[in-house]
Amino acid sequence: MGEPLMTGLAIAVHGLRKSYGDKVVLDGVDLTVPEGTIFSLLGPNGAGKTTVVKILSTLVTADAGDLRVGGHDLAADPQAVRAAIGVTGQFSAVDGLITGEENMLLMADLHHLSKREGRRVAAELLERFDLAEAAKRPASTYSGGMKRRLDIAMTLVGEPRIIFLDEPTTGLDPRSRHGMWQIIRELVSGGVTVFLTTQYLEEADELADRIAVLHDGGIAAEGTAEELKQIVPGGHVRLRFTDPAGYRSAASALDAASRDDESLVLQVPSDGSQRELRALLDRLDSAGVEADGLTVHTPDLDDVFFALTGGAAVPAQSKETVR
């Protein structure tokens, strides 16, 4: 741990490959995570997000790749990597047979804290994660949200500089999810680097400094949420008509619009700004037509995600409305 991190990168991955038998899961993944930031790895189920976490947290060995975590080479010095990281997996890594407090003290012992220090840290973290009251109960009796909080509290006993969170909010109710987000934000404000996998786009948008989309064994795109949203042309105004005559005159007035003659819907490319909207409405007015419905659609991570991962949910029109 004494080795300085010359790169300023908490995680640097180049050419990561992993296959299980004939099945290639990761086929040359590259990614870098600067210290003190939240990096989110997005991807559909089965894309290999968990495999990336398992490899970077030394649980599973990679087939190939130049992998550095916390400045240490994963292949050469996994034990130094382990000393720098904390992992909270998709399924709670708590010992259900013993109490929450005993789980915490177990972690304190494994981090070689003194008895007194261990008790202090355990009590402090149990308090911070709202588990003090449940501390004497077996962890198997905890709710999903409580288990997840205990899981993170256990991870924090060793004060890791880099934390891997593999789908930390999967299966949690909305309140617990927001609680978890708050916890993650607090971690980063303390200078910790967070590597987060999630299947919730909203979560990545909410938390991450940088987002990478994992698809087909590689990184399909990487950037800030804003940068990613610019990749896909998703922004448009959707005009719905009930009167075919009105629909036709609107269509001829708005030549940039893509038409759906069946359902009498026009989609006009637009960034959704006030100025563009007014121009659009002016043109409709001068053509003397009135739409029965108007919705503004700004690009979100869903558009990016579906466009990059080839999901069927992308309406065909939005691909035609390239700006």
DSSP string over 100-159: HHHHHHHHHHHTT--HHHHHHHHHHHHHHTT-TTTTTSBGGGS-HHHHHHHHHHHHHTT-
Give min distance, CB of 151 to other proteins, in A. 8
The residues in 66-85 that bind other proteins, with binding defined as CB under 8 A, are 79-80, 82-83, 85
Burial of 243 (0-12, 13-18, 19+ CB in 10 A): middle
The residues in 94-123 that bind other proteins, with binding defined as CB under 8 A, are 94-98, 102, 106, 109-112
For the record, the structure tokens of 126 come out as: 């149990």
Give min distance, CB of 20 to other proteins, in A. 9
**Binding status of residue 132 toward other proteins by CB under 8 A:** no
DSSP 67: E
Which residues are paired to 268 by β-bridges? 237
* Piece of 22-30, 52-60, 213-221, 232-240 that binds other proteins (CB under 8 A): 52-60
Residue type, 97: L
Residues 6+ apart with CB under 8 A from 168: 88, 148, 152, 180, 184, 196, 198
Give CA–CA dist 147/182, Å, rounded: 16
Among 40, 58, 169, 193, binds other proteins (CB under 8 A): 58
Give min distance, CB of 41 to other proteins, in A. 17
Give min distance, CB of 92 to other proteins, in A. 6
The residues in 233-292 that bind other proteins, with binding defined as CB under 8 A, are none
**Binding status of residue 64 toward other proteins by CB under 8 A:** no
Give min distance, CB of 91 to other proteins, in A. 5
**Binding status of residue 61 toward other proteins by CB under 8 A:** yes
Give CA–CA dist 270/268, Å, rounded: 6
3-state SS, residue 224 = coil
The residues in 147-206 that bind other proteins, with binding defined as CB under 8 A, are 154, 158
DSSP string over 225-258: HHHHHHHS---EEEEE-S-HHHHHHHHHH-TT-E
**Binding status of residue 309 toward other proteins by CB under 8 A:** no
- 62 within 8 A of 55, measured Cβ to Cβ: yes
Cβ-count burial 127-161 (b if 16+ within 10 Å, e if not): eebebeebbeeebeebeebbbbbbbbbbbbbbebb
Give min distance, CB of 96 to other proteins, in A. 7
C-beta of 53 vs 184, nearer to other proteins: 53
C-beta of 154 vs 254, nearer to other proteins: 154
C-beta of 82 vs 238, nearer to other proteins: 82
**Binding status of residue 295 toward other proteins by CB under 8 A:** no
Residues found near other proteins in the complex (CB under 8 A): 57-61, 79-80, 82-83, 85, 87, 89, 91-98, 102, 106, 109-112, 138, 154, 158
